[in-house]
């Protein structure tokens, strides 16, 4: 085990006994939602994983340690501190470790720590991707590169609606990352169930997904796999409404000069404001939906 990794007792015991474990990210706590909904959602996600038979490992950097499995107090700390906590991607991990600092992990950083800990399944909300206008800004999330090189399967509700979904899929294809749709042929778009772009493969059961992951690992492929799980129909938002909110949020981000790692938190908060909180409610439900699917896949993979 890497000297910088710290496993919670429950996660360590589950891994040693070969029981199902799933990773959960922490940027959603510090940067993705307001307090106290962020903490409540994180704890609900952990409870949902356990209900489905998997041990949750919420991942963050605490005091320079790469933690897989947090206490309720640590989750509450991240939620209260919010955006004052470093939003940690791949590039930030060595710095935070050396400085013995704290960091809330993005998809990319969560994948890295999960892989170091021996966790192969990870549930999140939506992945980062190619931002709109990337042909001039070159704003492309490190999440995509991580999917190409780190052996962790990521379950999400598709790419965030604020992104250029077509270019995100093209990038993943170039990097050789399989993109699966759970029960759907079309890539979900976070708040909505359809994007207009097809996934590589439609899959119909957690057991089938587990067999794909097992084959990928047996072949010793360097990268991961993206499993997209559409938001439940009753929580999906009308495409016209969410697209109008995104367009307004993008306009305001451009006017205010919002760039880099601040872009996604700004856009999500602005969309939440413009939709009267409806997008936050949808966000919470889609994350819980992804956690349940990830746990089912982990259970199958552990058989």
- Name the catalytic one among 160, 261, 270, 296: 160
Q: Is 73 one of the annotated active-site residues of the chain?
A: no
Please state, in angstroms and rounded to a whole number, the distance separating the CA atoms of residues 170 and 135.
13
- Name the catalytic one among 12, 25, 55, 146: 25
Please state, in angstroms and rounded to a whole number, the distance separating the CA atoms of residues 225 and 152.
7
Assigned token pair, 165 = 């979904």
Closest CA to 282 of 254, 225, 242: 242
Please state, in angstroms and rounded to a whole number, the distance separating the CA atoms of residues 256 and 226.
33
Task: Label residue 67 left, alpha or beta by phi (over 0 means left) and psi (-120 to 50 means alpha).
Answer: beta
Per the CB < 8 A criterion, the answer to whether 4 and 97 are in contact is yes
Please state, in angstroms and rounded to a whole number, the distance separating the CA atoms of residues 73 and 61.
14
Count other Cβ atoms within 10 Å, centred on residue 175: 14
Q: Is 65 one of the annotated active-site residues of the chain?
A: no
For the annotated catalytic residues, the residue numbers are 25, 160
């Amino acid at each position: 085990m890497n000297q910088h990794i710290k496993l919670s007792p429950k996660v360590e015991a589950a891994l040693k006994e070969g029981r199902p474990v799933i990773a959960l990210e922490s940027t959603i706590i510090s940067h993705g939602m307001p307090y106290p909904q962020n903490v409540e959602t994180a704890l609900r996600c952990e409870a949902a994983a356990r209900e489905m038979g998997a041990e949750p490992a919420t991942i963050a950097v605490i005091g320079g340690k790469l933690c897989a499995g947090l206490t309720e107090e640590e989750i509450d700390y991240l939620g209260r501190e919010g955006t004052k906590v470093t939003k940690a991607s791949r590039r930030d991990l060595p710095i935070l470790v050396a400085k013995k600092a704290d960091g809330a992990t993005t998809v990319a950083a969560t994948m890295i720590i999960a892989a170091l800990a021996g966790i192969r399944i990870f549930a999140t909300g939506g992945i980062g991707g190619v931002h709109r206008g990337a042909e001039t800004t070159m704003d492309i999330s490190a999440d995509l590169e991580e999917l190409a090189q780190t052996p962790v399967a990521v379950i999400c509700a598709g790419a965030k609606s604020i992104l250029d979904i077509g270019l995100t899929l093209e990038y993943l294809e170039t990097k050789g990352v399989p993109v699966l749709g759970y029960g759907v042929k079309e890539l979900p778009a976070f708040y909505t169930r359809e994007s207009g772009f097809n996934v590589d493969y439609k899959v119909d059961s957690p057991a089938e997904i587990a067999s794909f992951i097992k084959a990928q690992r047996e072949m010793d492929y360097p990268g991961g796999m993206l499993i997209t799980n559409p938001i439940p129909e009753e929580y999906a938002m009308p495409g016209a409404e969410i697209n109008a909110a995104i367009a307004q949020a993008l306009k305001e981000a451009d006017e205010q000069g919002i760039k880099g790692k601040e872009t996604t938190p700004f856009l999500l908060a602005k969309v939440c404001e413009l939709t009267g909180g409806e997008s936050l409610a949808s966000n919470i439900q889609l994350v819980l939906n992804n956690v349940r699917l990830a746990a089912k896949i982990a259970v199958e993979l552990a058989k």
